[in-house]
Structure 1
Amino acid sequence: MSKLNIRKVAVLGAGVMGAQIAAHLVNARVPVLLFDLAGNAGDAGTAGTAGTVGTAGTANRVVEQALQRLGKLQPAPLADTDDLRFIEPANYDDDLARLGECDLVIEAIAERLDLKHGLYARIANQLAPHAILASNTSGLPIASLAEGLPAELLGRFCGVHFFNPPRYMHLVELIPTAATDAPTLDALEAFLTSVLGKGVVRAKDTPNFIANRVGVFSILAVIEEGRRHGLSFDLIDDLTGARLGRAKSATFRTADVVGLDTLAHVIGTMQERLQDDPFFAHYRTPEVLARLIEGGALGQKRGAGFYRKEGRAIKVLDPATGSYVEGGAKADEIVARILKRPPAERFKLLRESSHPQARFLWAIFRDVFHYVAVHLEAIAGNARDVDLAVRWGFGWQRGPFEEWQQAGWGEIARWIDEDIAAGQALSKAPLPDWVRGAAGQGVHRADGSYSPATGRFEARSDLPVYRRQIARAPVLGQPSPAALGETLFENDSVRLWLAPGHETVPVLSFKTKMNTMSAEVLDGIGLAVERAEAGFDGLVIWQTSALQLGTPGGPFSAGANLEAAMPLFMSRGAAGVEPLVRKFQDTMQRVKYAQVPVVAALAGIALGGGCELALHCARRVAHLETYLGLVEVGVGLVPAGGGLKETVVRAARAARATGSTRYLDFISPRFTTIALGKVSGSARQAVGFGYLEATDPVVFNVHELLGAALTQARALAQTGYRPPLADHAIPVAGRAARATIEAQLVNMREGGFISEHDMRIGKHIATILCGGDLDAGETVDEAWLLTLERQAFIELLGTGKTQERIMGMLQTGKPVRN
């Protein structure tokens, strides 16, 4: 098969999933035809469309209404709402011939075989001869879906399972039939991986595939073991969320968000198609779930499920009475302490404890370990695929096999055996022989992960698309990104190193919590620039946290380390912090005027000083899910690491480019963004905020970020990179513009939108952005603006209101409004 160029995609079905898949395609700059029933159809629901057909008089009104809903959804499916226009509405009556324009067709209609077969019969002869047809199904048999397709289409048909919401969930399961061509799968995997930024796992054609099969069983086990141990839903959520390294929404909040009807549908698939499964007795719909669905309490979308919001209070269901009661139950302190112990000790203590919460936790781990061991060969190619699917699809920090192996493979296996023999497990099925045989030390090794089907440890896929990933998704037993490459310099705060095969551009990674910047990190940045200038082509700043376990994605840096600066403040007062602020500014200038290009590889949050660091780099390469903002107002301060200075420089550059001297027009929107502490909702939106340039590349797969940044640094070096010339004549908006902004602040204060202290901070920001006490059009240099930043920062730091905000943030992690 020749290279597949996907120029346009058709999505069939404008329901919740179809519309959001279309949205993510246009996020990736792929034009989309979004199909559904024609507007005069009587029942839009058969095509997977949510809601009722409206009365608008167009043939495409079903899709148009879906697009209207799409623009209002939260979290936002679109990285930039303006991109909605790139989704073109279409309908099955008038537009089927246009399918011939598409290289990929994704069917996402209702989960019914008869409806899907009927649609395939209508579209089969309209597809381009090279086009791939993929069904986005969460669990229907792909082989059954393929029945009746023309012979020439069978090789280009497969299942592709996006997780909801498609923009944010890293996992996509790819499911072939026996007839699917290998080149078709490889081409589609490359597209999903690099263009859409997904973590692709190839699943076998079994009910609910991998992630839902394991994840939903885990939910069923939690419900059953919670019932056995007499634990409330809110207590179970406290036990099964962040404390276990899983999603904060834990078990029942997650179920509410997903939709209890959706959960029941997946359980129903297991009931119908897994009757010979040794765990079949536990595939029944739990009584509490059935009662909630019968009463219309489908979760968050209906305002009630396991939880219900009443005013500001969130109440939890009491299954005994069917009423909602005050929630907020927390794990017992002794259990919380056990969960902080090293893995082997933790599991031993949980199993040996008589505390019901500890017994519950051991039971849910045992049940899942038992389950994945019994079913590994049937559902996946190897243990790695199970672990990655569960991590990426359900937000677990470690997959079940990783948890088991980390805790002590042989000991855990022995305990599971004992529980099976004692009748405490959820099934009498014995652990497979390979658990003590070929994989007797665990399923993950440096050279691969165990496959019962082949009896070997299978290496990672070597498809060309993965050559872009210098540091692939880490799996237990395989090298950590933090130990990758050759170390040039390392201390407690930073590591400077060379990535394999990229020895001309070193990489600087921070080692602090949330990659915050302390004096030691600033020293590390200065040293890295010095070393890069002395013998390399450039420097990349990239954080290993971009590849954190679980779902990858950052942070780049949460900004300056305020906690580390507090002792200096306490001993010397606000003025005593001035040298540290100056050091921060000097380091940022060192980055900006380095003789080699410094490239920031951004993922996750880049806030405050993290955003300022990015602003001073020669180029930024950003993962789509990068959230940038100058947010110092939240702690009662102004940006003082050169962020406001760079804002003025960029505004002046934009004004010059248009020949305008109306500097206020260019400063005003930037002032609003900074004064309100706005954070971009994506890398695309950060361009509009002025934190990224239109020329800064946006990468969709976070695992490709480091490679893309190194490529950018080398490209700049190879084209004769020179740092920018220092501008000593930066025009400013002046005192009249400052007065205009301050008048807006007064109106906001009188309207109750901001506090008196917010207004004080806003005035400082306005003063700096307008150049101080100067006339419009007067020019300054960068040092002038940096001095204004420092003066405002130190003045605000000396106020009680700012000190309250800083302490509140350090103690609670939340901004204080005073």
Structure 2
Amino acid sequence: MNRIIKKVAVLGSGVMGSRIACHFANIGVQVLLLDIVPRELTADEEKKGLTLENPAVRNRIVNSSLQAAVASNPSPLYRKADAAKIKTGNFDDNLKDIASCDWTIEVVVERLDIKQSLYEKVEKVRKPGTLITSNTSGIPIHMLSEGRSDDFKKHFCGTHFFNPPRYLKLLEIIPTPDTDPAIVDFLMHYGDLYLGKTTVLAKDTPAFIANRVGVFAIMDVLQVMQQLGLTVEEVDKLTGPVIGHAKSATFRTSDVVGLDTLINVANGLAQGLPNDEAKAAFMLPDFLKKMGENKWLGDKTGQGFYKKVKGEGGKSEIQALDLQTLEYKPGQRVKFATLEATKPIEKLGDRFKVLAAGKDKAGEFYRKMFAGLFAYVTNRVPEITDSLYKIDDALRAGFGWEMGPFETWDALGVPKGLELIQTEGKQAAGWVQEMLDAGNTSFYKVNEQGVKQFYDFESKSYQPIPGVENFIILDNLRASGKVLWKNAGASVIDLGDGILNVEFHSKMNTLGTDVIQGLLKGVDMAEQGYRGLVVGNDAPNFSAGANLGLVYMYALDQEFDEINMMIAQFQNAMMRMRYSSIPVIGVPHGLALGGGCELNLHADKVVASAETYMGLVEFGVGLIPAGGGTKEMTLRTAAKYEEGEPEFNLIRNTFMTISTAKVSASAAEAYDLGFLRRGDEIVVNSNRAIAAAKEAALELADAGYTQPTQKTNIKVHGQGALGMFMTGVYAMKEGRYISDHDVKIANKLAYVMCGGDLSQPTEVSEQYLLDLEREAFLSLTGERKTLERIQSILTTGKPLRN
């Protein structure tokens, strides 16, 4: 369907509505955000002599909501300036303006009568053929469009975003029997490509897919917890990162989201699912009822399952709720033998067998939890979806699980999962046993072409997951034998069509010796018969930077020759990558810090995920960027001198970016900071990034890529600029904004960026600047205060200002 979305109307500016509006603004769409007109003046408005007819009063609700959203942390916007794409108004004065909108999204209060009343007004002004959708999560979609025209019904369906819309990737698309299938196809595609979502087609059943299964999982955990006598803290330890869930786990997440939300959804499911075999799981336990009555709803009311209190000496401490007495008690250290056994196991999927085999209470908890969840999801196919992969997609994208229920079951083993279900007295759907009886031993498999397939219970065969042809999943290629070379820290993988990929798999993807070796190997291999190289991975973060622990160890032992050699090797690897005979594409996502940022600065082109947090952060540990970062930022700044802006202003801005260790809050902001440049791309859906990078490499190769030569004409300003920087740094010190050690680091950074103590502006080479930055880095590793800063980051994860 050839449909272009230029302008979107969002009706309702609450927490969800304002943030949905912000996310459309993120991708460049103009937004009309509307809400109700206030019925009475505030005290402040009365003092100003305003009336209910004043425009500022009439738009107070919508403007206040948008301002609160823009000011919130984490920000719903890629750039604060994108808020300018959102025009506000109210239902009385501006509803007529939706005639110019291509898509209207309703996000008002969850009451059928209010929504239907609004739709009646919308239909009078909406342009026929435009999209109309609802973000409801608790009202059947088909009921919302009752009484509307055929054109309205044809273009209407549910589009259920998850909060916060910028960060949670799930978008459930819920059609009605009247929805035009072409509209559904369009929304599935638009959500994926433009909004960066995992779009999941759901049936119009209570709570759809993610909330139906996710809330069951939470409520079932509450039951198992009571059976085993576990505490709030113990359950959060058992249901956090060890099983691939968020660090906030079960109860901390509930506090953040709000217990009223959990209670309302659970109550709605308990009432709306008379035929659900596990409907008893949605009945609220007594402690949850009492917490709701007491308004202990989590962060929004100051207490929930956890409460922050002032301890001895006025220091804040977190107390946990004792569910037996409903009293808050000091935090307790949680330790289980089963969890200790999983500590050496890096790969998530390998932990589940160990967890389920545990001999302590933790093992018993996991056996009961897995049994309940596995049985439940089998019985939801085909009730809430015809395809099991959609349940996994929804839980990963909506609840932040690293692995969905069926993926987890595969890792544990399907026969073992069935055994747990039977042992716990649960009942799995019959199609699972039929699948095993037919010799199919897993819910998923990867074929020889590296395409992931799922077991389709209707056809009783494996089918490719729709849409994966647009993605390159490195795990799938690995499973199909596409790894050409590997060591402990990196792999070289064949992406096909003459393009290789270097993948990091060190801890936090730090850039140590193994990773550098893998990078050089990838360049060497690509130059021998391939067309290009991509540097990307599927980990949560691209790279947290260089191996700081190794630098610290060498510095403590005063092994400065080793540090010098390590930095020289990193610099040489960056230059080898930059000046190879094949195009190299960087694919940053998540954290791309320090050396991770420097690597992308040296790529021919960057294809960044929208959620990329990029920065040269070395200053925070008492160092300067020395993997080519200072050199490259100086080079990029010099390249702008001919554009007319005063040269000292440009170099000063770059100096401030590095010396304040600025990190972009998005890939869009990385452009503003100079980490990305014209010609680099941003991909909103991170699942598409490596495929897009492969295409970019092929485009450069097809265009006749020519090996570039190192630059020898980088203009630096010498003493003139150095004096400016040192004066500014001194003023900052006198104003007590920075410490003596900050002064020392800043002056060394300035020295490098100015090309040293040159008497006049001079053109220098890249190698000249590389030598200067390496020398400055090396000298700083001999400083005690730098070592203290490094130690603080390594031991506490927090920067030290000394």
TM-score w.r.t. structure 2 length?
A: 0.91
The residue type paired with residue 516 of structure 1 is T
Match of 1:396 among 396, 401, 410: 401
1:240 aligned residue? 239
The residue type paired with residue 384 of structure 2 is I
2:318 aligned residue? 314
The question of 1:456 aligning with 2:450 is answered no
Q: Could you tell me how far apart the structure 2 residues matched to 1:530 and 1:267 are?
A: 57
1:544 aligned residue? 538
1:203 aligned residue? 202
2:48 aligned residue? none
Tell me the SS of whatever aligns to 1:255. helix
2:783 aligned residue? 799
Q: How does 1:315-334 map to 2 (within 5 A)?
A: 315-334=319-338
1:49 aligned residue? none
1:101 deviation in Å?
Answer: 1.9
1:743 deviation in Å?
Answer: 4.0
Q: Could you tell me how far apart the structure 2 residues matched to 1:146 and 1:537 are?
A: 54
The question of 1:23 aligning with 2:25 is answered no
2:566 aligned residue? 580
Q: Could you tell me how far apart the structure 2 residues matched to 1:226 and 1:250 are?
A: 14
2:450 aligned residue? none
Tell me the SS of whatever aligns to 1:535. coil
1:551 aligned residue? none
Cα gap change, 1:438/1:598 in structure 2, threshold over 3 Å: closer, same or farther?
closer
The question of 1:470 aligning with 2:472 is answered yes
Contact 1:215-1:390 within 8 A present in 2 as well: yes
Alpha-carbon displacement from aligned partner over 1:664-701 (angstroms, at most 9, x marks no partner) = 31122222222222211100111111111143111011
Moved more, 636-645 or 270-279: 270-279
2:443 aligned residue? 443
Contact 2:446-2:480 within 8 A present in 1 as well: no
1:373 aligned residue? 378
Alpha-carbon displacement from aligned partner over 1:444-468 (angstroms, at most 9, x marks no partner) = 344733445x2534624546xx543
The question of 1:496 aligning with 2:482 is answered no
Q: Could you tell me how far apart the structure 1 residues matched to 2:351 and 2:387 are?
A: 27
1:253 deviation in Å?
Answer: 0.7
Cα gap change, 1:726/1:335 in structure 2, threshold over 3 Å: closer, same or farther?
closer
Cα gap change, 1:367/1:616 in structure 2, threshold over 3 Å: closer, same or farther?
same
Match of 1:432 among 429, 434, 454: 429
5+ residue gaps, structure 2: 43-51, 311-315, 448-452
Q: How does 1:277-426 map to 2 (within 5 A)?
A: 277-311=276-310, 312-337=316-341, 355-420=360-425
1:758 deviation in Å?
Answer: 2.9
Q: Could you tell me how far apart the structure 2 residues matched to 1:460 and 1:607 are?
A: 36
Tell me the SS of whatever aligns to 1:93. helix
Match of 2:665 among 681, 686, 689: 681
Cα gap change, 1:786/1:631 in structure 2, threshold over 3 Å: closer, same or farther?
same
Cα gap change, 1:535/1:407 in structure 2, threshold over 3 Å: closer, same or farther?
closer
1:58 deviation in Å?
Answer: 4.8
Contact 1:482-1:544 within 8 A present in 2 as well: no
TM-score w.r.t. structure 1 length?
A: 0.89
Contact 1:239-1:331 within 8 A present in 2 as well: no
> Percent identity among equivalent residues?
38
Cα gap change, 1:401/1:774 in structure 2, threshold over 3 Å: closer, same or farther?
same
Alpha-carbon displacement from aligned partner over 1:751-796 (angstroms, at most 9, x marks no partner) = 5544433332222112212222124533322222111101111111
Q: How does 1:163-182 map to 2 (within 5 A)?
A: 163-182=162-181
Cα gap change, 1:766/1:288 in structure 2, threshold over 3 Å: closer, same or farther?
farther
1:763 aligned residue? 747
Tell me the SS of whatever aligns to 2:434. coil
1:40 deviation in Å?
Answer: 5.5
1:257 aligned residue? 256
Q: Could you tell me how far apart the structure 2 residues matched to 1:23 and 1:344 are?
A: 36
1:56 deviation in Å?
Answer: 6.8
Q: Could you tell me how far apart the structure 2 residues matched to 1:77 and 1:590 are?
A: 39
Alpha-carbon displacement from aligned partner over 1:384-430 (angstroms, at most 9, x marks no partner) = 1111211221122211222223212223312322321xxxxxxxx63
Q: Could you tell me how far apart the structure 2 residues matched to 1:543 and 1:372 are?
A: 30
Tell me the SS of whatever aligns to 2:633. helix
Contact 2:571-2:626 within 8 A present in 1 as well: yes
Alpha-carbon displacement from aligned partner over 1:318-349 (angstroms, at most 9, x marks no partner) = 33444432224323245432686799997677
1:126 deviation in Å?
Answer: 2.4
1:612 aligned residue? 598
Contact 2:34-2:88 within 8 A present in 1 as well: yes
Q: How does 1:608-687 map to 2 (within 5 A)?
A: 608-658=594-644, 660=645, 662-687=646-671
The question of 1:268 aligning with 2:267 is answered yes
Contact 1:746-1:759 within 8 A present in 2 as well: yes
The residue type paired with residue 506 of structure 1 is L
The residue type paired with residue 387 of structure 2 is N
Contact 2:552-2:790 within 8 A present in 1 as well: no
Q: Could you tell me how far apart the structure 1 residues matched to 2:204 and 2:462 are?
A: 20
Cα gap change, 1:748/1:222 in structure 2, threshold over 3 Å: closer, same or farther?
farther
Cα gap change, 1:587/1:444 in structure 2, threshold over 3 Å: closer, same or farther?
closer
Tell me the SS of whatever aligns to 1:180. coil
Tell me the SS of whatever aligns to 1:480. helix
1:566 deviation in Å?
Answer: 6.1
Cα gap change, 1:261/1:126 in structure 2, threshold over 3 Å: closer, same or farther?
same
1:100 deviation in Å?
Answer: 2.4
Q: Could you tell me how far apart the structure 1 residues matched to 2:282 and 2:108 are?
A: 25
1:439 deviation in Å?
Answer: 4.6
Q: Could you tell me how far apart the structure 1 residues matched to 2:282 and 2:41 are?
A: 36
Cα gap change, 1:190/1:512 in structure 2, threshold over 3 Å: closer, same or farther?
same
1:195 deviation in Å?
Answer: 0.3
1:712 aligned residue? 696
1:22 deviation in Å?
Answer: 0.9
Q: Could you tell me how far apart the structure 1 residues matched to 2:53 and 2:410 are?
A: 54
Cα gap change, 1:380/1:530 in structure 2, threshold over 3 Å: closer, same or farther?
same
Contact 1:636-1:806 within 8 A present in 2 as well: yes
Match of 1:698 among 678, 682, 705: 682
Q: Could you tell me how far apart the structure 2 residues matched to 1:488 and 1:360 are?
A: 41
Q: Could you tell me how far apart the structure 2 residues matched to 1:42 and 1:188 are?
A: 40
Alpha-carbon displacement from aligned partner over 1:457-491 (angstroms, at most 9, x marks no partner) = 4624546xx543233xx8xxxx6244467444444
Q: Could you tell me how far apart the structure 2 residues matched to 1:566 and 1:332 are?
A: 33
The residue type paired with residue 529 of structure 1 is V
Q: Could you tell me how far apart the structure 1 residues matched to 2:136 and 2:376 are?
A: 23
Cα gap change, 1:136/1:42 in structure 2, threshold over 3 Å: closer, same or farther?
farther
Cα gap change, 1:223/1:187 in structure 2, threshold over 3 Å: closer, same or farther?
same
1:734 aligned residue? 718
Q: Could you tell me how far apart the structure 2 residues matched to 1:460 and 1:137 are?
A: 31
Contact 1:54-1:61 within 8 A present in 2 as well: no
Q: Could you tell me how far apart the structure 2 residues matched to 1:306 and 1:54 are?
A: 45
1:26 deviation in Å?
Answer: 1.1
Q: Could you tell me how far apart the structure 2 residues matched to 1:747 and 1:164 are?
A: 44
For the aligned residue pairs, the C-alpha RMSD in angstroms reads: 2.8
The residue type paired with residue 698 of structure 2 is R
5+ residue gaps, structure 1: 44-52, 421-428, 546-553
1:129 aligned residue? 128
The residue type paired with residue 59 of structure 1 is R
The residue type paired with residue 243 of structure 1 is V
Q: Could you tell me how far apart the structure 1 residues matched to 2:599 and 2:5 are?
A: 36
1:656 deviation in Å?
Answer: 2.2
Tell me the SS of whatever aligns to 2:157. strand
Tell me the SS of whatever aligns to 2:33. strand
Cα gap change, 1:590/1:317 in structure 2, threshold over 3 Å: closer, same or farther?
same
